Chain A
Amino acid sequence: MPNEDKLKAGHKKTEAGKRLSKLMINDYTRLHQKAKEGAFVVWIAIVVPAELFSGFENVVYGVPESHAAMSAGKGVGPLQCEKAEAMGYSMDLCSYARIDLGTAFDGGKDSPTFGLPKPHLLISDNNNCSLLVKWFDIYHRAWDVPHFILDIPFCYEQQTARDLNYISSQYRDLIRTIETLSGQKFNIDRVREALEHTKGALTNWKRFLKTAVSRPAGLTVFDSFVQMAPFLTSRGTKALAEHYRLLADETEENVAKGIFPVPNEKYRLLWDNIAPWHQLNKMSSRLASLNANLIAASYTYCMGSLEGEFDLYPYDGGDPLTYLARIQNFSICPHGLELRYQAMQRAIETLGIDGVIFASNRSCKVYSLMQMDMLKRVTERLGIPSVMIDVDHADIRKYSEESVFTRIEALLEVIDAKRGAQTPRKNSNPI
């Protein structure tokens, strides 16, 4: 059994963590309050460019996926899933969807945020996940709420000008739709202003992630998992930009002071998939007890980057719709294998990754289905030991801690063996 001191290491509540809680509480409180006061409410998929809503006087948005992740993190995932399953929704469906359906059709009961206020408009997209469209269709039918679908071509290679124009034309349709439904006028200058905040937020987000370069790393990936939440709920706000600035400052200061989340870091690992929301504390503590630190994740390093890239693609002050269309595919799921590999290779080389954990996620096929070939490629081309584990991002009933850690421990042994083969035995600890 790992000793107690080591179990306490890993993901800890920092000052930034405390600020995050306040920010999230404010976001949800404000959402409910504004909705109650008559704001136009939209529900969006996570990669719908929320800066667009800043262009309206009184439009607020809820993000069902983000709410589902929070529900899973707070331990009510299975409860909400079971409600959806009782309504006939298959257990093989994405657990985010089941949590959301269970929450929404039970009036927000058992939700950490009392659910989301009912929408006037649903906006899905099919680049991150086509299933979002089917999921939102359920509310569209049940509540007779209009459903706007953003149709975004998948990227096997970098986005073409034709696709960019097609996407930005759909933003114009969306703006017209909201104007018509809400009776509010759209102001592009407000979006420009929001994008400046986004630029600030993402610049500091990348600065925060860069603290993983230090040895030991200045963060664990669990920090980045939880800290990405307000990017989904407060995108384009000054509060978010300020929060990420303080987060990056604090993390850099900790590195300077020699304060590290895993002080005896021996294994620097990369995570590929959505966070296992129900396991954040447990997994980070147990990894820390093994002197292993997950220091990066494809799920979080993609924020602010173009497809296949690792660095920030900042807003340049130009046409807001063009920038948003270009960055529309920032998340991993709309990327082909070659692009995913390119970005992961950059991450591995930049951060000095020792091993990769491919989390095969039953609830997210679109993220997971390339992983077997990615694993092969990373192992063979880059010589980085890798392992595949089975998870479900929000349904703990489909997760087995012991079988996962058996595989992770095997990965650490392979890393040791590789080091042993590369260096004399007496220098077996290179970190």
Chain B
Amino acid sequence: MRITAVQIAPDITLKLCPFSTKLSVLNYLDRSPAGTDDDCRVNNRYNMKNINNDMKDNKAKGRKVIGCFPLYPPLELFHSLGLVPVTLWGLKDSIPTTGKSDRHLQPYTCSVARHLTEFLLSENGAALDGLFMYNACDTLRNLPEIINCGLADTGRSLPIFKIHIPMVPREQTESRAYLRARIKMLIDELEEAYQVTFSIEKFRQSVSLYREMRKLCKALETLVANGRMSYNEFSRIIRDGWFIPAEDQLLVLQKILQDRPLSKREHVPSAVQSRIVVSGILPPPLHMIQAFENAGLTFVGNDIASQNRALFYTPAMVDDPADYYVDFYNHHYPCTTLLYTADRRMAAIRELILSTRAQGVVFIGEKFCEFEYFEIPHLEKTLKDMGVPTLFLEVSIDDNEYSEAYVTRIETFAELIGSANQGGRYAE
């Protein structure tokens, strides 16, 4: 298989070199898309190894790889400057222990931060040429200097680019000018650090690329809702996408959708028996997803930060990247970490439930993620009042293995939804 240029959208022809690493695309495409869950488990690990190789490969080619802290970095901007942005979440599979991180972070730190830190302090982090972070949460905002201390211990250092994203509703405070200034400053810093020049044309191309990529991710979600792709596979593809160049991810998505095309009517989820929506920062671990699917539950939609929340919205193109990001953050899909979106969150979840005809909602609590914890009682109560059953499962850093306790709760939840469904309790 040899790919050199691909028309990925009416206005975009993708040239693989120098942006594509090829390796990640080919590795993915050579794998059986319909692997068993055991295969997925193996592939998850194998794939992370490839991801690390991809990053090293990029570096070897002289490409600058910028590691972005979760959750919603300005990816298009980095891409347009010729950088390869990778978003550092979902790292659990590549990190067997957190020994290095544990020298810097207390055990009550969330697994996202601990894995992120471990990744950066390990050999994997050496493939990065810089880091980017914004004020996503109290834990992440404390990390840059901690990571610098850890890197200094190993004789390394990385430039860290930081911006403050205003966390206020626009109707309360006019924060657009502030954000515009921060974005412009970031561009100046990146230009200086990497000796690159911003171009609005390239930025437009990057925006188109990411818009198309996000659109295809949504299409992939429909495959899951229709039972044609496991949620595990979907989660793996989306997770891998954060680590490869956007061009490569687009090819991966196109190939999958080519192999499993969506018919028009499939855009509305078909009548599977028990439909659930999952909410949280990261998707549940593989064994937990497997337990849900074994119990006859289908994931028809998600409110996961690393999935739908991150992929939902791309602004219309404008002539100024600063304006673009003002729009991007202001109209972002609601997330517990975007403080100004709190009033919109319940409506978004309600809309998600209605549009997917979900019969239940599963909350995956990332242990020690207080942002999520504060909202869950309210969401559970509101959903209960709507007649939508909920299940809360907490996942901690060492929840890698199969747990009978989870399975029992999941099966009970499936029975609850099933019996309610038979009784016609939940309106379509």
Contacts and interface: CB of A to CB of B under 8 A. Distances in A.
Given A92-B367, A149-B172, A126 B105 contact: no
Interface stretch (A46-54, A65-73, A82-90): A82-90
B47 interface: no
A154 B135 contact: yes
Contacts of B181: 162
Contacts of B196: none
Contacts of A166: 175, 178
B378 A154 contact: no
Contact of A373 (B138, B149, B173): B149
A376 B376 contact: no
Nearest to A390: B106
Interface in A303-356: 336-338
A360 B169 CA distance: 33
Given A88-B380, A126-B167, A134-B339, A372 B138 contact: no
Interface string B57-85: 00000000000000000000000000000
B365 A90 contact: yes
B368 interface: yes
Interface residues of B, number: 47
A362 B106 CA distance: 9
Contacts of A370: 142, 145-146
Nearest to B152: A373
Interface in B102-148: 103-106, 108-109, 135, 137-139, 141-146
Contacts of A138: 374, 378
Nearest to A152: B164
Given A92-B367, A134-B336, A151-B167, A369 B373 contact: no
B174 A169 contact: yes
Contacts of A173: 172-174
A138 B135 CA distance: 22
Main secondary structure on B side of the interface with A: helix
Nearest to A149: B168
A71 B342 CA distance: 29
Interface string A137-154: 110110000001101011
Contacts, number: 135
A135 interface: yes
A90 B373 contact: yes
Nearest to B371: A134
Contacts of B172: 148-149, 173, 177
Contacts of B168: 149, 151, 170
A390 to B, nearest CB: 9
A175 to B, nearest CB: 12
Contacts of A92: 108, 367-368, 370, 373
B138 A131 contact: yes
B173 A130 contact: no
B245 interface: no
Interface string A105-140: 000000000000000000000100111011101101
B166 interface: yes
A94 B164 CA distance: 24
A139 B378 CA distance: 11
A162 B177 CA distance: 11
Given A137-B342, A149-B339, A166-B178, A337 B145 contact: yes
B288 to A, nearest CB: 19
A87 B378 CA distance: 10
Contacts of B141: 154, 366
A344 B49 CA distance: 42
Contact of B106 (A90, A130, A368): A368
A93 B377 contact: no
A130 B136 CA distance: 10
B340 interface: yes
B142 A369 contact: yes
Contact of A337 (B146, B371, B377): B146
Given A138-B378, A154-B141, 16 more contacts: A93-B373, A130-B339, A130-B371, A137-B374, A148-B172, A149-B168, A149-B172, A151-B168, A154-B164, A173-B173, A337-B146, A365-B139, A365-B368, A365-B370, A368-B106, A373-B104
28 contacts: A87-B377, A92-B367, A93-B374, A97-B374, A131-B138, A137-B374, A138-B378, A148-B172, A149-B172, A151-B175, A153-B135, A153-B164, A154-B141, A162-B181, A163-B164, A170-B173, A336-B142, A337-B146, A360-B106, A365-B108, A365-B370, A366-B141, A368-B106, A369-B106, A372-B103, A373-B146, A373-B150, A376-B149
